[in-house]
A and B are shown apart, each in its own frame.
Chain A
Amino acid sequence: MTDPAFRDLYEREFPAVFRAAYALSGDRELAEDAAQEAFARALSRWRRLSGESWAAGWITTTALNVARRGLRRRPVTGAARPDPVDTEALLDLRAAITDLPARQQTAVILHYLTGLPVREVAAAMQCREGTVKAHLSKGRAGIERRLTAAQRQVPAETKGDDDG
């Protein structure tokens, strides 16, 4: 990695890219692989990305796409290996996020979980800020619907267990 600018970007942004992929997948190994793959893709086209303010966002978006695909390939029975720091909140949110359409997933993770401002999310997703806001709004609504449904389901399942 001879280009200092890329090396700096890699060292600086890798944790954030990993964090985004991990937030989506819940699988540390998959998230690391996705982040590595995204940086490799960036390096392979560095001539085009170098100096762009949206390069980090592009890499994160690519990592999410790679992680998303990794999730699809993972056997249904092969659930993510539990991470020691995983919590109920993270699992709940992850389950809700994975039910969202891909563009909403990306917007939600980039903005809420990696802290990118809307403008940078828009640049990374190559759309307008208004579109990002719409994705975020729909994404939040979708997550809240999912969480509400899950909360309703828990007492019902608990009751069923008691009956059984």
Chain B
Amino acid sequence: MDDLLTRVNDELDRIPRPRTDPAKVQRRARTLRRRRTAGATAAVLVVVLGVVVPLSALRHLGGDRSPAPASGDDDAWVGIDVPHTDGWFVYRTDPAIVNLTNPIPPSVLASTVSMDADPAVDANGTLTLSSLPDMRSLPDDGIVMLASLDLSTEVPPEPDATFPAATLPLQLADADVALDYEGQQDPSVPEYLLRATAGGYAMEVRTYFGTPQPDGDVLARAQAELDRLIVRPRPGAAGFDPSPGWHVARSDPRRQLPWSTQGWASSTPFAETDLPEGLDPGFPSDWPQATGEEQGPDDVLIVVREPLETRNPFPDLPDFQPIVFPIDLSVERVVRAPWEGQPSDDVSQIIVGGTVNDRYLILQVLFHTGTPDDELIARAQEEVDRLVVPPGPPPTPLLDGSGVRMDLPDGWQGRIFQYAGGGELTLHASTLPVDDLFHGHTGWEGMGVDDVVIVLGEDVNATTDGFPQVDFPLVVTAADECVRGATVGESGLEDCEILDDGSEPPDGHTRLVHRFDVGARSFMLWVELGTPEASPAQIASVNDVLATLVIDAE
């Protein structure tokens, strides 16, 4: 095969240099930016447009009627809030659907106008737009303010020309005032736009007044509300308290990393490549590989990380039981190499998976000897005893996150999750008990003839002009069946795969595959039934479940 690779590389070297078109790249980038901006401002536009659509289809401004206590703990982490004050009505993003890797911007909406005497609340606890103020009826002294955080940053947000550095409270005097703007319903309602990097976030505040020239009192009232805006840091990552003889690093909760949040502890200094000198230890690399490779037989390296993020609780996962402290690092738990990613041949580890404070964690204690003695294990035990796991956001049974919602029928189990660090969204629902953190089930082959598994995956890297826009309710038909070995496109088997390890589907099942776009978002839907020939009634029952599926266009 090496010869073939050499020949292929030689051929590729002979390909004429491709055309570059920087102007085209720039135009397309501008379009993509606009799409994201449109998503971030959708709630505002709906307020302006005054169309009666489910608010949940926009930005999930949760229906917490005022008063709105400003909780300072992480149990209701939203990231942004404003405490209740007389004369203001406050709505905020439902904490149940806020997620550290969720592209939905957490928002808080404050208005001097009553949003509704009795807000209509749907089954998911979200509001309908009819409960929001109509800009056309905004009185001259009326104020509507919407503040949002951008959680999509994959590195600490650096101030730039669009989101300049600022300190809280933001000042209305710094706002860009627009008397004419996209989506404007009433020409007398101006928009005051503030964008800033502050409090560890890129944030945006849009304020609307009932008159093009709000007087000093109205502006002062708006500024006072802006002064009350609270920004809270993200929940902390698990990690280890500092202690003599140990080096520690922990993901900074204010940042969103392109990999799993994690905590490290090492008996030796971290290697330059893992934690370069001068780099904030809150931004470690994805794995202390070089540190491990430099360690000797008397050293210990400990890593705790979250493999995926979800707000949905899992019942009794065999490999992720609640972790009981202190974690016992007995010699009986030592496992010798080989395993994937091992730093060298003569290594061993103790690995513990489980839940702590509603977080799914994997703890790895690595020894650079195949036979760690009692003294070395005891040393590691002391450090593991210093593990701190801050509470995660509270779990919720609702399948609602990243702009995707679906009701679970009685007897079904499901979850929405993302692999930690910004992985693609996956919705998983089935009649089978969930018993595997990653794949949902360990017993796909054992599906009964009436069992159904639904997996919806977002393809964030797909282009947006290929699959048909979907009409809701989403419907699958027998024509969507993906037959093993059949050619769909040019890689039929890939289309039939349901697990990311590339494993082939079991025999004797029916698999329906449906690709579609919702606005600028692309999705792949797999439906697997435990029978080789699904009846029309079975497919109809699947469609009954899919009828509750709602996806927000980005």
Contact = CB atoms under 8 A, between A and B. Distances in A.
A11 interface: yes
Nearest to B338: A130
Contacts of A66: 461-463
Contacts of A31: 18
Contacts of B490: 71-72, 74, 76, 98
A41 B487 contact: no
Interface in B459-491: 459, 461-463, 466, 487-491
Nearest to A87: B11
Interface in A1-59: 1, 7, 10-11, 14-15, 18-19, 22-23, 28, 31-32, 35-37, 39-41, 43-45, 47-48, 52, 54
Given A11-B20, A44-B36, A48-B155, A69 B497 contact: no
A32 B461 contact: no
Nearest to B258: A126
Interface stretch (B1-9, B63-71, B353-361, B426-434): B1-9
Given A36-B24, A37-B28, A72-B489, A23 B12 contact: yes
Interface residues of A, number: 69
A69 B463 contact: yes
B160 interface: yes
A117 interface: no
Given A76-B487, A92-B4, A22 B15 contact: yes
Contacts of A36: 21, 24-25, 28
Interface in A120-164: 122-123, 126, 128-131, 133-134, 138, 140, 143-144, 147
A36 B26 CA distance: 10
Given A72-B495, A99-B493, A131 B340 contact: yes
Q: Which of A90, A140, A147 has the most CB of B within 10 A?
A: A90
Chain B interface size band reads 35 or more
A89 B8 contact: yes
A88 to B, nearest CB: 9
Given A48-B155, A126-B258, A61 B24 contact: no
Given A43-B25, A143-B1, A71 B489 contact: yes
Nearest to B35: A44
Interface in A58-103: 61-62, 65-66, 68-74, 76, 83, 85-87, 89-90, 92-93, 98-103
A1 B26 contact: yes
B342 A130 contact: yes
A65 B462 contact: yes
Contacts of B32: 40-41, 44
Q: Which of B17, B33, B157, B341 has the most CB of A within 10 A?
A: B341
Nearest to A38: B461
Contacts of A40: 24-29, 32
Given A43-B26, A43-B29, A93-B5, A35 B494 contact: no
Please classify the interface of chain B as helix (H, G, I), strand (E, B), loop, or mixed, using the class held by over half of its residues.
loop
Contacts of B9: 112-113
A43 B27 CA distance: 10
Contacts of A133: 341
Given A43-B26, A131-B341, A32 B18 contact: yes
B373 interface: no
B392 to A, nearest CB: 21
A101 B18 contact: no
Contact of B459 (A48, A54, A69, A73): A69
A10 B8 contact: no
Contacts of A134: 340
A75 to B, nearest CB: 9
Interface in B1-55: 1, 4-5, 7-9, 11-12, 14-22, 24-30, 32-33, 36
27 contacts: A1-B22, A22-B15, A23-B8, A28-B15, A32-B19, A35-B18, A37-B463, A40-B28, A40-B29, A44-B28, A44-B30, A44-B33, A48-B153, A48-B154, A48-B155, A72-B490, A87-B11, A89-B7, A90-B7, A100-B502, A101-B494, A101-B500, A102-B502, A112-B5, A123-B286, A126-B258, A126-B421
The 9 closest A-B pairs by CB, nearest first: A130-B341, A101-B502, A72-B489, A40-B28, A65-B461, A43-B29, A44-B32, A18-B18, A44-B29
Interface of A: 1, 7, 10-11, 14-15, 18-19, 22-23, 28, 31-32, 35-37, 39-41, 43-45, 47-48, 52, 54, 61-62, 65-66, 68-74, 76, 83, 85-87, 89-90, 92-93, 98-104, 112-113, 122-123, 126, 128-131, 133-134, 138, 140, 143-144, 147
Given A14-B18, A126-B286, A147-B4, 14 more contacts: A7-B22, A14-B20, A23-B12, A37-B28, A41-B29, A48-B155, A69-B463, A72-B466, A76-B489, A89-B8, A90-B7, A90-B12, A92-B4, A93-B8
